[in-house]
Structure 1
Amino acid sequence: MSIHNSFPGNDFSQETRPAGQIAPPAPPKALLVATVCIVLVAVSALLSAVVALTTGKESLRAYAQGLLDSELNSGLDSSGTLLDIVVDEAFGALQTRAYVWIFFAVAFLALLLPIRKGSTWARVLLTLLGLGAMFMGLRDTADMVSPLLGMLGIVILLGTLVAAFTWWLPSVNRYAKARKRMRTGR
């Protein structure tokens, strides 16, 4: 419970706690960096899903058209039903990736509060989920169906890598141990 005097010129405050209870430790800056990275990754994952679902079919059609015209030099009619079948099939895979990105974004945001509180189980789970997100980001970058999806894949890849590195730093481990001692009373 905080007691604050709101008179002008009074710049002191006093906190009262039950006897024997210590103040919670301040989160380290590394945890703040990890939090910002995870929010950036979640937003990028959602944007990637939105881009894939809204402009994915057109991007795939342009990509396949370019392959037929320049790479294969086949002389096939690229406006036919074969191209439509290929684009529809590839769009199904792109839709699946978009839904997986939505899952990753929701999972990352849901685990953000436990991470901020120093929960080790949340850091472990987010590290494992981060591996999947990094591989998908790498795949989006390598596919280059759309330059925007490629850039978002790079942001997801690098953001997850930085976050996973920073939330396992010694300062974050000390913070997690101090929070656990405070919760358990040991």
Structure 2
Amino acid sequence: MVVICVYAPHMGLGDQEKREFWDRLDVVVRAVPREERIFISGDFNGHIGKDSDGFQSADGGFGFGDRNEPGRELLEFAVAHDLGIINSFFRKRVSHLITFSSGGRNTQIDYLLMKREDRRWWRDCKVIPGETTVTQHHLLVADIGLRRKLTEGERKGRPRIRWGSLKGDKITMFRDKVIPMTANWVGGDANRL
């Protein structure tokens, strides 16, 4: 899994700085091999808003507030790279959506993104209201269920003994072999058996 942490330029900076940010992030994301999982998180300094209109593939429609231009840029980036904004796919109370509070204003500017093909692994995403990572940002957490593919040998595993299927002579044969082995075992070394 590749984890990318971002901090997008804020509203006060010029268009050149913002364009450089998106271009650099684009280069980083394109460099990630296709088979790798990707997880992008951070402060994108944009509002995707509560409506997913036009961006249903990247936005689940459960955001906060109104969309602005930096939020539109984030959504366009997500669509271009087939990413989903995880925290927009889970219906939450307003207090579990607000990622930034300052001067009595509450907004959602921190987001978590993953490939849409990994959508089946997204379990939940929300803000922990009482926790702050810095003075104004609230902790945003996601539950992701990750599985690795098992190799053929791991899939088969060790052979299992199905005791319930022992019948007739096999029960007697088992008893004759196992019981004598364990008779002297009390307090002994299991490796000697």
Same topology, TM > 0.5: no
The two structures have a TM-score, normalised by structure 2, of 0.22
- Greater relative CO (CA pairs within 8 A, separation 6+): 1
Q: Flag the structure with higher strand content.
A: 2
Bigger radius of gyration among the two: 2
Q: Which structure dedicates a bigger proportion of its chain to helix?
A: 1
Give me the TM-score of the superposition, normalised by structure 1. Answer: 0.22
